[in-house]
Amino acid sequence: DTGVSQDPRHKITKRGQNVTFRCDPISEHNRLYWYRQTLGQGPEFLTYFQNEAQLEKSRLLSDRFSAERPKGSFSTLEIQRTEQGDSAMYLCASSSSWTSGRGETQYFGPGTRLLVL
């Protein structure tokens, strides 16, 4: 399978616990994005990596959230001291910057659905 993969697909946790999600992008893609999607809304941008460098973080990404992409391949998103408001679908997408010109297509993984009790 050459698509974007995410693990786990579902996570139920208690408020105050820490959770970590993993994303494996399409292998030749150098850009990796994290989004959050709540019911009835479109995805909201959280953060973005080009190779191993985290280039931008949304103001939605509080200090309880941290993301890494240590070797420029897979990425992890950790949420510390989870709150009920963190319940959402966390989507990962990847793209390639190698094509010239404007615009690039982001391909999404299946998402990790988080429920904080």
- Which residues of the shown chain bind other proteins in the complex (CB under 8 A)? 31, 33, 35, 40-45, 48, 50, 55-56, 58, 91, 93, 97, 101-111
Helix (H, G, I), strand (E, B) or coil at 86: helix
Report the alpha-carbon angle 112-116-117, nearest 5: 145
Please, which residue, 73 or 80, has the CB nearer to other proteins?
73
How many whole angstroms separate alpha carbon 74 and alpha carbon 18?
20
> Considering the complex, what minimum distance in angstroms separates the CB of residue 56 from other proteins?
6
Please, which residue, 16 or 60, has the CB nearer to other proteins?
60
